[in-house]
């Protein structure tokens, strides 16, 4: 009887010890290590937030924004590609609506929107419609791209320079400073982060 009782309590002690040990390891130590690792050298765990010169949260490096200049104010912003899934060809887009428009290559609505966007951008930038890159008038699968191609940024430089009072070379240097190369040297294409360029141009969200 004593042997059975002592064996039972010994097993209970082992089970309790394992419970405490695994609780400490898996319930405290492991989550703490993961939490710490997610915050070392990166703020991506907090949404990759970006602050402007005044310390205000201006957005995220991962989510596209297409700012609009106030009425009767020279447009000195770098603009993004189509964002969200708005069917209105001129809509600024809503990054919260990240689904694609589901308009296929034979869609008359898509063709109309692309033509309207190309004409609007060409007029805004003072270039021929043929100079407007395809990605400027079409959205991505996610509808959230924070970057544009260097080609789309290039046709915007003269307008930004005129509106901001800078030289085209100065604006080009800002764009180049926020242009990332291909990932690992061979994946994807070069890309310009729209938000980072606009912040470098001195734009702020603070009132």
Report pLDDT digits (tens) over 90-114: 555 555 666 667 777 888 888 888 8
Determine which helix (DSSP H) or strand (DSSP E) holds 60, and give its type and residue range.
strand 57-60
pLDDT at 207: 56
Are 139 and 113 in contact by the 8 Å Cβ rule? The answer is no
Are 206 and 56 in contact by the 8 Å Cβ rule? The answer is yes
Question: Which is higher by pLDDT, 66 or 148?
Answer: 148
DSSP state of 181: -
Question: Which is higher by pLDDT, 43 or 56?
Answer: 56
Opening angle at CA 149, ends 144 and 155, nearest 5: 120
pLDDT at 45: 65
Going from the C-alpha of 166 to that of each of 75, 76, 149, the distances in angstroms are 13, 10, 22
pLDDT at 130: 92
Q: Above pLDDT 90, what percent of the chain?
A: 34
Distance CA 116, CA 88 (A): 10
3-class DSSP assignment, residue 27: helix
Q: For the chain, give the mean pLDDT.
A: 82
What does the pLDDT average to over 136-159? 87
pLDDT at 43: 60
65-84 pLDDT, tens digit per residue, is 787 877 778 889 999 888 76
Please check the confidence at residue 161 and state whether its pLDDT lies above 70: yes
Please check the confidence at residue 180 and state whether its pLDDT lies above 80: yes
Please check the confidence at residue 194 and state whether its pLDDT lies above 80: yes
Are 207 and 70 in contact by the 8 Å Cβ rule? The answer is no
Half-sphere exposure of 84 (CA within 13 A, CB side): 14
Determine which helix (DSSP H) or strand (DSSP E) holds 57, and give its type and residue range.
strand 57-60
Residue 149: pLDDT band with limits 50, 70, 90: very high
pLDDT at 88: 56
DSSP state of 25: I
Distance CA 183, CA 189 (A): 8
């Amino acid at each position: 009887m004593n042997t059975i009782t002592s064996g039972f309590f010994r097993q209970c002690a082992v089970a309790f010890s394992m419970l405490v040990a695994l609780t400490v390891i898996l319930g405290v130590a492991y989550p703490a290590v993961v939490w710490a690792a997610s915050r070392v050298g990166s703020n991506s765990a907090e949404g990759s937030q970006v602050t402007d010169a005044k310390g205000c949260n201006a957005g995220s490096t991962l989510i596209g924004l297409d700012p609009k200049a106030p009425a009767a104010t020279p447009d000195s912003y770098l603009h993004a590609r189509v964002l969200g899934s708005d069917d209105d060809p001129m809509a600024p887009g809503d990054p919260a609506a990240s689904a694609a428009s589901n308009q296929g290559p034979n869609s008359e609505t898509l063709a109309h929107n692309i033509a309207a966007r190309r004409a609007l951008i060409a007029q805004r930038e003072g270039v021929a419609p043929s100079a407007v890159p395809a990605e400027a008038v079409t959205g991505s699968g996610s509808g959230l791209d924070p970057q544009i191609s260097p080609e789309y940024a290039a046709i915007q430089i003269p307008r930004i320079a005129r509106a901001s009072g800078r030289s085209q070379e100065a604006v080009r240097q800002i764009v180049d400073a926020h242009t990332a190369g291909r990932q690992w040297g061979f994946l994807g294409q070069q890309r310009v982060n729209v938000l980072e360029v606009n912040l470098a141009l001195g734009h702020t969200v603070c009132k």
